[in-house]
Amino acid sequence: MHSSYLAFLPTDLRPDPALRPERTWWNHRGHRVHIERVVRPGAPVRMLLVHGAGGHAAAVWPFAALAAGQGFEVVVPDLPGYGRTRVPARRGIRYPDWVDCLTDLVRAEHAADPRPLVLLGASMGGMLAYEAAARTGLAAAVVATCLIDPRLPQVRSAIARRPWLGRYGARLLLPAVDNLRVPIRWMANMPAMSGNSALTRLVSTDPLGGGVRMPLGFLRTYLTSVPHVEPENFTTCPVWLVHPGADTWTPLSLSEQFFERITAPKKLTVLAGAGHYPVETPGIHQLTRALAELRTEIAC
Give every residue of the chain whose pLDDT is below 70, as ranges.
1, 161-172
Instruction: Specify if 165 maps to a domain.
Output: no
Give the pLDDT score at 175. 84
The Cα–Cα gap between 275 and 147 comes to: 15
Q: Do the domain assignments include residue 216?
A: no
Q: Give residue 41's domain range.
A: 2-152+229-299
Establish if 146 belongs to a structural domain.
yes
Whether 58 maps to a domain, the answer reads: yes
Q: Is the pTM of this model over 0.75?
A: yes
Overall number of domains in the chain: 1
Would residue 142 count as lying in a domain? yes
Asked, for residue 187, whether it belongs to a domain, the answer is no
pLDDT, tens digit, for every residue of 74-84? 999 999 999 99
pLDDT in tens, 148-182: 999 999 998 888 766 655 555 566 677 878 899 98
Helix (H) or strand (E) holding 282: none
In a domain, 198, yes or no: no
What CATH number should be reported for the domain holding residue 290? Answer: 3.40.50.1820
Phi, psi of 47 (to 5 degrees): -130, 135
89 within a domain of the structure (yes/no):
yes
| pLDDT at 185 (0 to 100) | 85
pLDDT at position 158: 87
| pLDDT at residue 40 in the model | 94
Concatenate the DSSP letters of all residues of 59-118 into one string: TTHHHHHHHHHTTEEEEEE--TTSTT-B-S-GGG--HHHHHHHHHHHHHHHHHH--S-EE
Residue 163: predicted pLDDT: 60
Go through 151-179 and write b for each residue having 16 or more CB atoms within 10 A of its CB, e for each that does not.
Answer: eeebbbbbbbbeeebbeebbeebeeeebe
